[in-house]
Amino acid sequence: MKKFSIFALCAMLVFGLTACGGSSDDKKDDSACKVKIGFVTDMGGIDDRSFNQGSWEGIKKFAEDEKLGDDCITYLESKAEADYVSNLTQLSEDGYDLVVAAGYLFEDAMKDVSAQFPETKFLIIDAVVEADNVQSAVFAAHEGSYLAGMAAAMEAKELGSDSVGFIGGMEGPVIGAFQAGFEQGALAANPDVKIYVDYAGSYDDAGKAKTLAAKQYDAGAKVIYAAAGNAGNGVIQEAQERTEKGDKVFTVGVDRDQYEDGKMANGDSVILTSALKRVDVSTYDACKQVLDGDFKAETITYNFDLDGVGYPEENPNLSEAITKALDSAVAGIKDGTIKVSEEPTISNGGTN
């Protein structure tokens, strides 16, 4: 009887853990989910302080607003491009109503997996996939980057320099649009500006980006704009180290407000401002559409009018003059008096 009692007790405990989801190996209890959202990161990881993190924050805010449990949303991190298809497939097989992929590198994987799971809804960010179950979110990043270029050139001038820098992740039309807007904004603010351009060749090599930032700061750049995902954290680190040694330099954040990420021990931040690319808005909108039964399998361009790009409301490091100039530029872009091209003019490793 004693042996039986111990066995029965253990069985009850095991059953209790299973019913409550107490074991990390148990299948999630999603019976109460009004909708299930799955997210796949690129190689930058979920906490890249940029693109992936911003996308996930939109999903988390949706879950919070709709009072969804933690079991109703999840993410999978991709360690290599070979993981893209398998991660998208896993979430689709697990019955997630919406599967989100962050980045244009998912384009081929999204085409393949969405065709295999026609009943699943998909959102791809920064690429266009035409299918009856795929929504494509693209951004007017060149317009938001125009503000970054203006702010960088104006601040550099205030610091006694005509030099600024741009560091991208991987070369291509998506990051090229960031570079293009930055170039045009900087030249509009200061026709004599010198713009250094370099690419890290990845979105996760912070060490390489830090080295490139050191090169540009050494050449005289006072403000650097990095559109490089997790690699951009190396630029922030370089700016922090130099500022702490007395060399006042700045960097411009990207995708989300990175002011807190740029803070140093004394509480000051090396983030001049941030060029917001509101991927969180796109993920939130797609989640809401799926919940409401109003999913749109189309391409949506997130611009100033859709709150897809812009700059933070609070910018402790911006002067009043720069803030007024940026607000004026936003109005000009909206009414069409300022036209911003998506084509960069400076080659990798060069200047204007």
pLDDT reported for residue 286 = 98
Computed over every residue of the chain, the mean pLDDT equals 91
Greater model confidence, 311 or 229: 311
Average pLDDT over residues 290-304: 97
Provide the pLDDT confidence category of residue 27 given band limits of 50, 70 and 90. Answer: very low
pLDDT reported for residue 31 = 55
pLDDT reported for residue 11 = 43
Q: Of all residues in the chain, what percent carry a pLDDT higher than 70?
A: 91
Provide the pLDDT confidence category of residue 32 given band limits of 50, 70 and 90. Answer: confident
73-76 vs 299-302, strand pairing mode = unpaired
3-state secondary structure the chain: CHHHHHHHHHHHHHHHHHHHCCCCCCCCCCCCCCCCEEEECCCCCCCCCCHHHHHHHHHHHHHHHCCCCHHHEEEECCCCCCHHHHHHHHHHHCCCCEEEEECHHHHHHHHHHHHHCCCCEEEEECCCCCCCCEEEEEECHHHHHHHHHHHHHHHHHHCCCCEEEEEECCCCHHHHHHHHHHHHHHHHHCCCCEEEEEECCCCCCHHHHHHHHHHHHHCCCCEEEEECHHHHHHHHHHHHHHHHCCCCCEEEEEECCCCHHHECCCCCECEEEEEEECHHHHHHHHHHHHHHCCCCCCEEEECCCCCCEECCCCCCCCCHHHHHHHHHHHHHHHHCCCCCCCCCCCCCCCEC
Domain 31-139+278-309 CATH superfamily:
Response regulator (3.40.50.2300)
CATH 3.40.50.2300 fits 141-276+319-335, yes or no: yes
Lowest mean pLDDT segment, chosen from 98-102, 112-116, 227-231, 287-291? 227-231
* Domain ranges within the chain, ordered by starting residue: 31-139+278-309, 141-276+319-335
Q: Do domains 31-139+278-309 and 141-276+319-335 have the same CATH topology?
A: yes
Q: Which two tokens stand for residue 23?
A: 């074991």
Whole-structure pTM over 0.85, yes or no? Answer: no
pLDDT reported for residue 16 = 39
pLDDT at position 272 over 60 = yes
pLDDT reported for residue 193 = 98
pLDDT reported for residue 30 = 52
Provide the pLDDT confidence category of residue 6 given band limits of 50, 70 and 90. Answer: very low
For the stretch 82-98, pLDDT in tens is 999 999 999 999 999 99
Greater model confidence, 49 or 117: 117
pLDDT at position 14 over 70 = no
pLDDT at position 278 over 50 = yes
pLDDT at position 21 over 80 = no
Q: Which residues contact 246 (CB under 8 A, 6 or more apart)?
A: none
